[in-house]
Amino acid sequence: MFRNGTLVHVWRGDVKLDASGSAVLSADVPIEAGDNHFVAYAFNHDNVKSMDASVTISGAPSLQRKGTAYVVAIGINQYAAHASGQLNNLSFAEADATAFSRQFKLKQDALQEFDSVEVIPLLGANAVRSRIVDALQALAGKVQPEDGVFLFYAGHGIASEGHFYLLPQDFDPKAKFSDPHSHTLSDMDLSKLLEPISPSRSFLIIDACNSGEALGGDKFVPGPMNSTGLAQLAYEKGLYILAASQGHESAMESPNLGSGHGYLTYALVEEGLKTLAAAQAGTVLLRPWFEFASQRVPKLQSGTEDEAGATAQKDQGGRGFLIEGNGDVAQEGRQHPKVFYRREPEATPFIVAKP
């Protein structure tokens, strides 16, 4: 079931029909002021989609309110597994998460489109799997249709056996990635955690190696499919995703990018927001902002456009898992960010920043 084009509820498994071949399914879903256009459809056992059923419900003017923007900023420099020599630490992931959340909040506060901007920082030792899960589950219980949810992750990531895994601070490299005891967060885990969260605006930025694999690689075909996974959820919810690299590329960081950044975060924050280099006609919109960063990162790394990029290329590190034999090791070299947009442009594009 969708509200104004955004997935708000899913019934999994078989639907039990009564003697007449019918069934009634119900769910409590919040509405907002004005028109709330609901659409529902189902799939049969052959995964053939039904026709849409739709209804429009008018929300009372008393429901009108400014929403809250929730910014979940995750950054990890020091990993528990580093003590055993099984995982390299990072230098600027926590600084990236802090810089991103601070600058994004500053721009959104100035715009006053939201009533408030609440930053939820999960840095270093606080970025263990359980705390990340708790933070996302807490949002599922309080996010309203007018709210925004914006997720940022900087740290290690890995693609393995067709899935992408974030590596929280307490990641255990001795276990298989798919083993719950590994303390990873897979693309499927993220999909389940984000499914019950239905804000008006949302995006996910992953500044980690292999992160493009979170979008299903080349296998994913956007459309109303009876399938699961983060890419399918992004299609159904209108969730924008920006991944720092393709499926098996490294995501790099360097001390020579400003005071030290990952390349993606540097393009997004230091250039895209602070100098408004991503602005069009004076305004930074979400799609052009993501597109700016995706095109800018390879140029920064090649050093063909500025001295900062040329210098950084000499002294950089990757945000990928470095142990052979427990997954696929990221390919070193220039990274190419990957962008996923919702299925159609919004009538009112999301404004990220103005002068």
pLDDT value of residue 157:
92
pLDDT at 237 over 70: yes
Q: Are residues 134 and 15 in the same domain?
A: no
Per residue in 314-339, pLDDT (tens digit) is 345 555 544 333 333 344 557 889 99
First to last CA, the chain: 39
Which of 47, 64, 81 terminates a domain? The answer is: 64
Same domain as 222, residue 273: yes
Q: By C-alpha distance, which of 185, 189, 188, 193 is closest to 135? A: 193
| Mean pLDDT, residues 296-312 | 62
Tally of domains in the chain: 2
37 and 83 both lie in a single domain: no
Q: What totals of helices (H) and strands (E) does the chain contain, helices first? A: 7, 18
So what's the pLDDT on residue 219? 65
Q: How far apart are CA 41 and CA 19, in angstroms?
A: 21
> Residue 102 has what pLDDT?
97
Each residue's pLDDT tens digit, 191-212: 999 999 999 899 999 999 888 8
Q: Indicate if 298 and 339 belong to the same structural domain.
A: yes
Quick check: 222 pLDDT over 70?
no
Please report which confidence band the pLDDT of residue 217 belongs to, taking 50, 70 and 90 as the band edges: low
Would you place residue 124 in the very low, low, confident or very high pLDDT band (cuts 50, 70, 90)?
Answer: very high
Phi-psi domain of 108 (left: phi exceeds 0; alpha: psi -120 through 50; beta: other)? alpha
Residues 29, 119: one domain? no
Dihedral over alpha carbons 37, 215, 190, 237 (to 10 degrees): -10
Which of 44, 64, 84 marks a domain boundary? 64
220 or 264: which leads in pLDDT: 264
Q: Which pLDDT value is given to residue 83?
A: 66
Mean pLDDT of 141-156: 95
Taking only the tens place, the pLDDT of each residue in 45-58 is 999 999 999 999 99
Domain boundary among 22, 45, 64: 64
More confidently predicted of 305 and 59: 59
pLDDT of the residue at 88: 87
Determine contact, residues 243/228, Cβ cutoff 8 Å: no
Same domain, 51 and 74: no
Looking at the structure, tell me whether residues 319 and 248 fall in a common domain: yes
Within this chain, do residues 161 and 180 fall inside the same structural domain, yes or no? yes
- pLDDT per residue as tens digits for the range 15-46: 999 999 899 999 999 999 999 999 999 999 99
In angstroms, rounded to a whole number, what is the distance separating the alpha carbons of residues 28 and 12? 16
Domain harbouring 305, CATH code = 3.40.50.1460
Residue with tokens 């083993």: 179
Q: Looking at the structure, do residues 55 and 75 belong to the same domain, yes or no? A: no
Domain that holds residue 107: 68-353
Question: What is the rounded average pLDDT of the residues 181-191?
Answer: 92
Predicted confidence (pLDDT) at residue 116 exceeds the cutoff of 80: yes
Same-domain status, 72 and 51: no
pTM greater than 0.75: yes
- Which pLDDT score, from 0 to 100, does residue 218 have? 63
Please write the tens of the pLDDT for every residue from 158-168: 988 888 999 99
14-21 own/partner pairs: CB under 8 Å, 24+ apart: 15/42
pLDDT category, 129, cuts 50, 70, 90? very high
- 148-152, 154-158, 321-325: which range is least confident on average? 321-325
Q: Are residues 44 and 80 in the same domain?
A: no
Residues 5 and 101 in one domain: no
The answer to whether 168 and 129 have CB atoms below 8 angstroms apart is yes
In the prediction, which pLDDT does 249 show?
Answer: 79
